[in-house]
Amino acid sequence: MTENIEKLRIVPVVAIDSADDALPLADALSQGGLPIAEITLRTEAGLEAISKLSSQYGFLVGAGTVHSVDQAKQVADVGAKFVVSPGFNPKTVQWCLDNSMPIFPGVSSPTDLETALEFGLSVVKFFPAEQIGGVKMLKALQGPYGGIRFIPTGGISAANLSEYLALPSVVACGGSWMVKPELIRNKQFDEIARLTREAMASI
């Protein structure tokens, strides 16, 4: 899973209000060269959207904002291929490891990274990236935690994307600038495809 994500370099983080928009969104992202999405559970439509996208050939759908074992079970049942959480919940991480579900839990400190090492994880989400030091913080962590790689998320945009991706410790970046809720809500899928193409061209 890490290899698949690293090939794409960007993980669109999506909060979707209507599951009916899931397939057009996937088409727009794919047209832009990015057949992947982290559908968050921040909205009631999240689970249904994951279910719809899980059957799309060649599209990699994961679940974000997963806070508990119950939610991890739910997203696994509807076909999510990976799990992302904003923080490090040991019970959720253990369930995912026990059930062969790739998980990228959120970390924001050396203490979190020590916990990740204890669980045998080598790739974690770095969140909220910009707010906790961004590129400078990641560079500082590379020394003592050289065996761990990151998916920075939070405050990533077209303006700072390349700076993050230039770091050897960064697998990919999570971002929502090309899939803002208002773009999806207003069915501006051509614009989503354009922003996605622009992001991919920049890397």
Measured in degrees and rounded to the nearest 5, phi and psi for residue 57 equal -60, 130
| Chain centre distance of CA 55 | 19
Measure the CA–CA gap between 151 and 137, rounded to whole angstroms. 13
Residues in the chain: 203
Out of 125, 130, 139, 182, which one is annotated catalytic? 125
Classified as helix, coil or strand, 41 is coil
Q: Active-site residue 139, yes or no?
A: no
Of 6, 38, 48, 198, which one is the catalytic site residue? 38
Active site residue 52: no
State residue 102 phi and psi, 5-degree precision: -55, 130
Q: How many helices (H) and strands (E) does the chain have?
A: 10, 8
Q: What is the C-alpha separation between 117 and 148, in angstroms, rounded? A: 8
Residues assigned a catalytic role:
38, 125
